[in-house]
Structures are given as structure tokens and as C-alpha cells.
Amino acid sequence: MRHSGDDTSCAWGEYWLAYLLASQGEHADALAALAGGQQHAEAAADHLARGTLLILDATLRPSLATATAALDALITARAPEKALEALQQLAHHDGYLEVLDTILSAPPPEMPRLIGRMRYLRACSQPDLAHTVDDFTEAIGQAALRGEDTAEQWQQLAQANHAAGRYEDAVDASQRATERLDPRSDAHDQAAYLRADSYRHLGDHRAALREYRRLADGDGALAAQAFVAGTDLLEQLGITDWPS
């Protein structure tokens, strides 16, 4: 195959040779095969082969530069599923956020799942929740389209919306979170408490008090805090009894 003149075939042949060698612990020989494969892939302008070779290279000798090159090649190849593998490797390195910012400044078309995952990683790294709303919204929306959204993601979106003062959206996201959480869990109570506080900010005091009372009547970690918050709200409103 190496003498066939078909660079694409040679690139893939070197990949599978490297894969076999790596599985046997022969990393030096595997890296040599990968180097040859990358030369063939570049000669053939085969971005899919090059990106796949670079993923294996980055597995054997982790590097931000190699993982970035793999991701770039696979985006160019319009191979979003393989690009997700490169992204997973990239996220293990310091400095990956700068790479994401560069890509997201001009996102590649027709790769919504990949872009959603990038935006989710970027949002999770942000210390200021109020600035993560758009990234979380896009990322979780893409996950929901595929049935891959999780309670944790909806909880994160609820917290981001609450921090940004988008209380109606916080109510919706926290509701979606609690629907997916064990009602006996602390996470469920945290989502319900955030929803109660969002209702309070919206001026829907009856809904807020219902949430506070539900929590206060339970034995969860937030029961006492919910009772105090509800009691304070009752006093502010000049009401003596909790609404039914």
C-alpha cells in the first residue's frame, strides 16, 4: 500500500497500523506510523484522515496543539461526530477556552451539536453565571432536540437565568429540572427554592409561597430556609396565613 501512490489509502493504512501498535504498547512505532500517515493525509488533502490520525496522536502524547489541529481538521472535513472526539481531548488542556472562543467567533455551519457542546463547555467554565445564559440556552436546546438534555443542565440554565434577572426563564428551567430529579433529593429542593425566589421577584407571591411551603413542610436541607423566606414574605405582604 505504501508504494501504491494512493495517499488516502496509505494514510488510513498507517492509522490502522498505529492503532494496532498502540494497543500492543508499542507507542514509539505507533507514533512513527502516525507521522507517516499524516504526511500522506496532507498530500491527499484528506482532512478526515488527518484529523483521525491526530486524535490518536493526541491520545498517545497529549498536547493542546495536537488536539486543536485535530479539531480544526475535522471541522474542515465536515465530520462533526469525529470532531466531538477531538473536542473531548481538547477540553483536558489548559488554554482550551481560547480555542473555543476563536472557533465560536465564526462558528462552522451545519454542526449544531458540536457548537452546542462547545458553548456548554464555555458556559461551565464561566465564573459569572449571568454571562452564561446564551451559551447554556443554545447548548441545552441542542441537547433537548436529541433527547440528551439532563436535569443538571436545566438546573444550570435556571441558575444562569436567575443570576441574569430573567426570572420567567428561571421558573421554566427550574420546572424542567425538578421534573427530571428525584423529589427526595437536595438538587430537587434547590431547583424548587430557586423557582420560589424567581416567583417572588416576578411578584407572583402566591406561587412563591406555595413553593416555600412545600419545601418547609418537607424534611430536606432547605426546609428551614424555605420556612424563614416564606415567613418573611408573609410579613412583607401583611398576611398571617400561608395560602392553600
Q: Give dist(CA 240, CA 244) in Å, integer.
A: 12
Q: Give dist(CA 83, CA 67) in Å, integer.
A: 10
CA 176 from chain center: how many Å?
A: 17
DSSP state of 108: P
**DSSP code string of 154-175:** HHHHHHHHHHTT-HHHHHHHHH
C-beta separation of 7 from 41 below 8 A: yes
Q: How many CA atoms lie within 13 A of 238 on its CB side?
A: 0
> Residue 242: pLDDT band by 50, 70, 90 thresholds?
confident
List, for residues 76-100, the tens digit of each pLDDT value. Answer: 999 999 999 999 999 999 999 999 9
Q: Domain locations in the chain?
A: 1-93
- Residue 226 pLDDT > 70: yes
- Residue 4 pLDDT > 80: no
Q: Give dist(CA 40, CA 12) in Å, integer.
A: 9
How confident is the model at residue 135, as a pLDDT?
Answer: 96
C-beta separation of 73 from 90 below 8 A: no
C-beta separation of 198 from 171 below 8 A: yes
Q: Give dist(CA 228, CA 242) in Å, integer.
A: 12
Average pLDDT of the residues in 40-65: 96
Q: Determine how many CB atoms are found less than 10 A away from the CB of residue 38.
A: 20
- Alpha-carbon distance values, 108 to 80, 114, 120 (Å): 10, 9, 16
Q: Give dist(CA 239, CA 236) in Å, integer.
A: 8
List, for residues 139-152, the tens digit of each pLDDT value. Answer: 999 999 999 999 99
- Residue 186 pLDDT > 80: yes
Percent of the chain topping pLDDT 70 = 98
- Alpha-carbon distance values, 177 to 119, 137, 143, 163, 234 (Å): 20, 14, 14, 17, 27
How confident is the model at residue 240, as a pLDDT?
Answer: 80
- Residue 2 pLDDT > 60: no
How confident is the model at residue 35, as a pLDDT?
Answer: 96
Of 4-8, 27-31, 129-133, 176-180, least confident by mean pLDDT is 4-8
Of 68-72, 196-200, 215-219, least confident by mean pLDDT is 215-219
C-beta separation of 41 from 11 below 8 A: yes
- Alpha-carbon distance values, 33 to 13, 30, 244 (Å): 9, 5, 72
- Residue 3 pLDDT > 80: no
- Residue 1 pLDDT > 70: no
